[in-house]
Structure 1
Amino acid sequence: MDIVDDGLRVLFCGINPGLMSAWTGYHFARPGNRFWPALHASGFTPRRFAPAEQQGMLALGLGITNVAPRATARADELTADELTAGGKRLTAKVEARRPQWLAVLGVTAYRVAFDDRAAKVGPQERTIGHTRIWVLPSPSGLNAHWSPAALAAEFGRLRTAAEAPPTR
């Protein structure tokens, strides 16, 4: 289900597939999920993609993966062990694929997966090799304290950073 390639500009990483995503085979497939609208509103895509168009992300230098592979109705159904193991798998994937940025969608999951209890939304000090890390709010409709406009603005901050020349 990964949408990945070598040297992407940004590899977006969801927490895990929701039940609708597992059923359809498309990332962020639930109609109330705000990933695709935020991606477009922030300027990452020229138009709003439908989940079934996710392969088109690669042509834009963007990819999608997940921390944990197990589908659940809610991300909080995952165990800490699943998230920690997912952080290790994700680190190996990033080391192999070397995207410019890894964008983890969900600060709570990031804190557990990478054992960083103090992490906040935004760019992180930690890197994986030369890959910078940005934690984005979860686009789940359950994360209601991030409005669609605020979510798009945070995605936009990442887009601006990702368009800057690499500092390698």
Structure 2
Amino acid sequence: MPDVATEGLRVLFCGINPGLLSAATGHHFARPGNRFWPALHASGFTPRRLLPQEEQELLSYGLGITNVVARATARADELSREELAEGGRLLAEKVARLRPSWLAVLGITAYRAAFDEPAAAVGPQQRLVGGAPVWLLPNPSGLNAHYTPPALAEEFGRLRVAASAEE
């Protein structure tokens, strides 16, 4: 799946890996039950709710999307720790090249495995990845029942406020 990215973004959102529908359509967060696009809008990052096929519009807002692992799966738990660790290494290289103001990783379990941070929690992290500060967000998949849509939007909003403060 091609990244939606360019140099100097405000926030580079990083999913765990593409789902099967995203891989088939070529658009990030394409499954109708995924809450990424609603959370992005509800948090104030975008002036309206974008559709997955409008993902290139993110660049005009200083936002982009990539993934930790390129391999598509039905569920993120199909990825091995080794795949996630290698994906974390490659992500750090990509972030160093693109130099976003923030890297927002969408998925606590994947982040913990990719960066060997077993105690990581939602919010800003102590470590830099590729020279960028990291904000850990909950996985927006509809399978993540731990976060309601309003709670997810609230977490995205905390990042938006931090990213706006640095402009």
- Pick the TM interval, shorter chain: over 0.9
- Does residue 1:27 correspond to 2:34, yes or no? no
Counterpart in 1 of 2:127? 126
1:145 CA displacement = 1.4
Letter in 2 for 1:26: H
- Does residue 1:108 correspond to 2:104, yes or no? no
Pairing 1:89-168 to 2, within 5 Å after superposition: 89-128=90-129, 130-165=131-166
Letter in 2 for 1:137: P
Gaps (5+ residues) in structure 1?
none
Report the 3-state secondary structure (helix = DSSP H, G, I; strand = E; otherwise coil) of the residue aligned with 2:9. Answer: coil
Counterpart in 2 of 1:38? 39
Contact conserved, 2:92 with 2:130, CA < 8 A, in 1? no
Report the 3-state secondary structure (helix = DSSP H, G, I; strand = E; otherwise coil) of the residue aligned with 1:47. Answer: coil
1:117 CA displacement = 0.6
Q: How far, CA to CA, are the matches of 2:32 and 2:7 in structure 1? A: 30
Report the 3-state secondary structure (helix = DSSP H, G, I; strand = E; otherwise coil) of the residue aligned with 1:124. Answer: strand
Counterpart in 2 of 1:68? 69
Q: How far, CA to CA, are the matches of 2:131 and 2:87 in structure 1? A: 20
Contact conserved, 2:35 with 2:141, CA < 8 A, in 1? yes
Counterpart in 1 of 2:84? 83
Report the 3-state secondary structure (helix = DSSP H, G, I; strand = E; otherwise coil) of the residue aligned with 2:136. Answer: strand
Between 98-107 and 124-133, the greater mean CA deviation after superposition: 124-133
Report the 3-state secondary structure (helix = DSSP H, G, I; strand = E; otherwise coil) of the residue aligned with 1:13. Answer: strand
Q: Percent identity?
A: 68
Q: How far, CA to CA, are the matches of 2:155 and 2:102 in structure 1? A: 14
1:127 CA displacement = 1.1
1:131 CA displacement = 1.2
1:165 CA displacement = 2.1
Q: How far, CA to CA, are the matches of 1:14 and 1:75 in structure 2? A: 10
Please list the CA deviations of residues 124-164 of structure 1 after superposition, one character each: whole Å capped at 9, or x if unmatched.
00013541100000000000110000000000000000001
Counterpart in 2 of 1:49? 50
Query: Following superposition, which runs of at least 4 residues in structure 1 exceed 4 angstroms of deviation?
Result: none
Letter in 1 for 2:117: D
Gaps (5+ residues) in structure 2?
none
Q: How far, CA to CA, are the matches of 1:112 and 1:39 in structure 2? A: 25
Please list the CA deviations of residues 13-55 of structure 1 after superposition, one character each: whole Å capped at 9, or x if unmatched.
0000000000000000000000000000000000000000000
1:98 CA displacement = 0.5
Contact conserved, 1:100 with 1:130, CA < 8 A, in 2? no
What is the root-mean-square deviation of aligned Cα atoms in Å?
A: 0.8
Contact conserved, 1:94 with 1:128, CA < 8 A, in 2? yes
TM-score normalised by structure 2 residue count: 0.98
- Does residue 1:58 correspond to 2:59, yes or no? yes
Please list the CA deviations of residues 94-116 of structure 1 after superposition, one character each: whole Å capped at 9, or x if unmatched.
00110000000001000000111
Contact conserved, 1:42 with 1:153, CA < 8 A, in 2? yes
Instruction: Report how many residues are paired.
Output: 166
